[in-house]
Structure 1
Amino acid sequence: MSDTIEQIGSGSVIQHVRLNDRVYLMKLKKEDLAAVLQRLEVLTVEKHYSKLFCKVPGSLAAPFLAMGFIPEGEIPHFYDNGDDALFLSRFDDPARLANKPEVELRRFRQLLSETLHPKEFSQKTAAFAVIQLEQSHARQIADLYARVFLSYPFPIYDPAYIVKMMEDDVQYFGAFSGDQLAALSSADIDFETKSAEMTDFATHDTHTGHNLSCLLLHTMEQAMQQQGIRTLYTIARLASVPMNKTFLRSGYHYSGTFINNTHISGHIESMNLYYKHL
């Protein structure tokens, strides 16, 4: 099921799709505030989505809070003017908020209490060649995502979508074993805010256990720093202990959990927010 991306006003962006049963306000411009709030309510009435999920500057949060949104996470000093990015949610179906994954949450709290150190890359891991991927790799990228994820909040199984993302400032990185794409990830860059979402990590099942996510993350961080990016963040699956460990070991700060937020690998999962300032 394809997602819908809506451009509003001078640059605000809304994404929604029935698979997630959710509206995601990905970018909000101050001058578009009234139009965006109106559009969110229209979508709620027309599509009956059970969750509204919004990334907004802290200075624009008050109207959302007045409409019943609650804070689920934040990234301090995200915008050029020093404003924080707040992740605000409204659960129009109370069951979506009430049915929390308590077992996963307890396991994650235990993980946060542990001391995790950066991992040294083994000689075997160092043997993988990591490069920035090009449009000619789109089919390989889509095929690996289709192999790893039963479902995903964006149509990453479509090579045409991958090419479009590359044209829209998403940079993909891959770890190769010979000619085989063993693992990949992406950096979704917003040059306006000098930020990048480190996302879409996937490892071929024949190459797990080699810390390739750590290797890719390290490579992407270097590439982002060279391009003047100052804030990195990710929205990681609460259920994926290895992925959470990857970001905690790499010096990222945990700053919130998004309850029942994203349809991935066959069902809706809760997600953790991490950030790092370069």
Structure 2
Amino acid sequence: MNQERSEAVSRVYKGCDYSFSCTHDLFNERIRIDEYSGNVKAMTNHIHSLFTEGYTKCIIKAKEGDIRKLLSLGLSYEGMIRHYFSGVDAHMMTKYRDNWRRNSQTWKDEDVILEGVLTKTPSEISGKPLMRPGRESDAPALAELYKEVFAVYPTPMDEPAYIRKVMKDNTIFHVLEENGRIISAASAEMNRKFKNAEITDCATLPKFRKGGTMRHLIIELEKKLLEEDIYYAYSIARSLSFGMNAVFQQLNYEYGGRLINNVKIYQDWENMNLWSKSLTCGAE
């Protein structure tokens, strides 16, 4: 993770009859609209004016009633995060500037992986390991973990200062140690407005990837999220990772589609699978 990065920046834009929040992510060459209201056509025209050189992908988290309109305005449908807007689904509408960003060379391989994940029989996980919540004092050790697991990562998780920052900004971590060393970790980035959280920053040192370690960590994060009045969880997992996708499938997350060349992660640009789940009792 030694590539130079700048942290993504979010801004709010307004017109006479619309408003939207836009995350500018130069490292991943994309803009992302996480929330909007008002005149969809006028808003889309404004978004197009922001979709300039340096960006090759635009993502809008759209409301169901706006899918048809956005399709008519030239966007494509890539997937869904169930329950994102306080229980209402978000639909991922996209637009591309370059052919390379729109096309995937690994799609068929990922189809095979996904088929294996979706047909995998649930397996037992071993006894609960000794885990604990992450603390700001863990930032240097967490940075070393992410540096060792990922050659490339879409956010600066190899920088202790960045980890401390996200911990202060509604992101909770859970970690697993062995002999005083953090060997596995995962986080949940909470969106208190919409009562959802993204399960992210999942990393385990290769020699410890047995026995359901990551499932244990995510189960603990889910319990903590409910304590924080967060009722919906989702994740965006590398499509080429059988293990991480199997983790979410076995924890009853629902597959919602695949985002093409979504971020730089692991070694290069990769497609990412969408998984989502309601944490409420009796949810479908």
Q: Is 1:133–2:134 an aligned residue pair?
A: yes
Q: Percent identity?
A: 27
Query: Judging changes above 3 Å, is the alpha-carbon distance between structure 1 residues 119 and 167 closer, same or farther for their aligned structure 2 residues?
Result: same
CA separation of 1:270 and 1:121: change in aligned 2, threshold 3 A:
same
Aligned mates of 1:257, 1:99 — CA distance in 2: 11
Q: Deviations over 1:22-52 (max 9, x none)?
A: 2233x213159688645532332242x2211
CA distance in 2, matches of 1:208, 1:71: 34
Which structure shows the bigger proportion of residues in helix conformation? 1
How many pairs are equivalent?
Answer: 270
Partner of 2:168: 167
In 2, Cα distance between equivalents of 1:184 and 1:35: 42
Given residue 224 of structure 1, which amino acid in structure 2 is its aligned partner?
L
- Residue 84 of structure 2 corresponds to residue 78 of structure 1: yes
**4+ residue stretches of structure 1 with deviation over 3 A?**
31-40, 59-64
Relative to the length of structure 1, the TM-score reads 0.88
Contact 2:20 2:37 in 1 (8 A): no
Q: What TM-score, normalized by structure 2, do the two folds share?
A: 0.86
Which among 49, 52, 61 is matched to residue 45 of structure 1? 52
In 1, Cα distance between the equivalents of 2:134 and 2:118?
A: 37
Give the whole-Å Cα distance in 1 for the aligned partners of 2:116 and 2:124: 16
Per-residue deviation at 1:108? 2.4
Structure 1 pair 227/114, CA: closer, same or farther in 2 (3 Å)?
same
Maintained 8 Å contact 1:194/1:228: yes
| CA offset digits 1:80-114 (Å, max 9, x no partner) | 3x532111111221333233413422322431452
Shift of the 134–11 alpha-carbon distance from structure 1 to 2, 3 Å rule, reads farther
Compared CA separation, residues 248 and 158, structure 1 to 2 (3 A): same
Question: 1: distance between equivalents of 2:41 and 2:11?
Answer: 14
Question: How far, CA to CA, are the matches of 1:72 and 1:248 in structure 2?
Answer: 19
Indicate how the Cα distance of structure 1 residues 181 and 39 shifts in structure 2: closer, same or farther if over 3 A, else same.
farther
Q: 1:56 touches 1:88 (CA, 8 Å); kept in 2?
A: yes
Aligned counterparts of 2:83 and 2:215: Cα–Cα separation in 1: 25
Question: CA-atom RMSD, angstroms?
Answer: 2.3
Q: Which runs of 5+ in 1 are unaligned?
A: none
8 Å CA contact 1:8, 1:35 repeated in 2? no
**Aligned equivalents of 1:145, 1:219: Cα separation in 2:** 20
User: 1: CA distance between counterparts of 2:150 and 2:114?
Assistant: 26
